[in-house]
Amino acid sequence: MAKPDRKVLLQNAIEVTSPLRSWKLLVQDVVEKQPRHFTLADVLRYEDELRAAYPLNRFVGAKIRQSLQVLRDQGVLRFHGGGRYERLDAPATFSPLIDATLAEGYSSRAQIARIVIETWAEMNLYCLRCTRDALARLPANMPVADFACISCDARYQLKAKDGRIGSTLIGASYATTIGAVREGAMPVYILAEFDGRGASVVYADALPGSLIDEPRIIARKPLSPNARRAVWQGCIINVDGIPRVPIVEPAGADRADVRRRWGELHPS
């Protein structure tokens, strides 16, 4: 076996240990290896590698966090809370992966799915009407919509299922939904089909809420007078036959092409 070139080894050692490589630059190198959306845990996986640059430093974790703060202050990163970051210098990328650890401590499958899928949507969905590459999550219990575009105010409602979505959707309050139809305020419906075991979103379609008319809104039986939300009446939405635009599929979906197809289906 050939001996390693001593000059190469020396040069590598100089590059790693040179005082010119500040903590910010070292951490920035790690950040540039990450996708557009990443977490603090993703960066901390490089802790041993960074420790090799400053072997006498006993506070590597603190230096990493400090350097991430500097990158935030300099406009390289955006912090989304909960250890989640966004690279502002990276082109928009898409990840089908969902993170079940976000719902640790919850036992209800419905709650787990809601937390995991809504977080996935917040990190991956983008506006179909304009060029904004992120949607803002609306406050809980907002009628009809879950997300909005802060640039053009387009509204989105997320419907997700572990498995295939059929021809009907569980809607919100019957009165609220009928009112939205009459006012032309129905949102874009994002229908996401995920694989819980594989921890990924497999398919997702965008469906224009503007194509949903009153006959498609089917009233459900009101809750009993003894129920917590007594007399509340929900609805079912029949979406059979309404055209859709795929935004997630196994072969991948280019967002420019998705927006073009959406514009053809639903001109602004």
Give residue-wise pLDDT tens across range 126-160.
Answer: 999 998 888 888 988 788 899 999 899 999 999 99
Q: What is the pLDDT of residue 105?
A: 82
CB 65 within 8 Å of CB 59: no
Residue 77 and residue 115 in one domain: no
More confident residue, 186 or 58: 186
CATH number of the domain that residue 112 is part of: 3.40.210.30
Total number of domains constituting the chain: 2
Is residue 246 predicted with pLDDT exceeding 60?
Answer: yes
Residue 126 and residue 244 in one domain: yes
Residue 31 and residue 56 in one domain: yes
Q: What is the pLDDT of residue 2?
A: 52
Residue 251 domain-assigned?
Answer: yes
- 3-class SS of residue 225: coil
Residue 76 and residue 119 in one domain: no
Residue 15 and residue 139 in one domain: no
Residue 199 and residue 238 in one domain: yes
Of 87, 120, 152, which residue sits at a domain end? 87
Residue 230's pLDDT band (cuts 50, 70, 90)? low
Residue 147 and residue 229 in one domain: yes
- Which structural domain range is residue 70 located in? 6-87
- For the ranges 10-19, 134-143, 244-253, the lowest mean pLDDT is seen at 10-19
What's the token pair of residue 245?
A: 């635009």
Q: What is the pLDDT of residue 89?
A: 82
CB 184 within 8 Å of CB 208: no
Residue 67 and residue 117 in one domain: no
Residue 133 and residue 65 in one domain: no
CA angle 90, 84, 253 (to 5 degrees): 50
**Residue 243 CB contacts under 8 Å (≥ 6 apart), including other chains:** 207, 208, 211, 265
Residue 123 and residue 70 in one domain: no
Residue 94 domain-assigned?
Answer: no
Q: How far apart, in whole angstroms, are the C-alpha atoms of residue 122 and residue 110? A: 18
Residue 147's DSSP bridge partners are 137, 156
Q: What is the pLDDT of residue 145?
A: 93
Q: How far apart, in whole angstroms, are the C-alpha atoms of residue 149 and residue 212? A: 21
Residue 154 and residue 237 in one domain: yes
DSSP state at residue 215: G
Of 66, 87, 108, which residue sits at a domain end? 87
Is residue 24 predicted with pLDDT exceeding 50?
Answer: yes
Q: How far apart, in whole angstroms, are the C-alpha atoms of residue 223 and residue 54? A: 64
Percent of the chain having pLDDT more than 90? 50
Q: How far apart, in whole angstroms, are the C-alpha atoms of residue 46 and residue 31? A: 10
Q: What is the pLDDT of residue 21?
A: 66
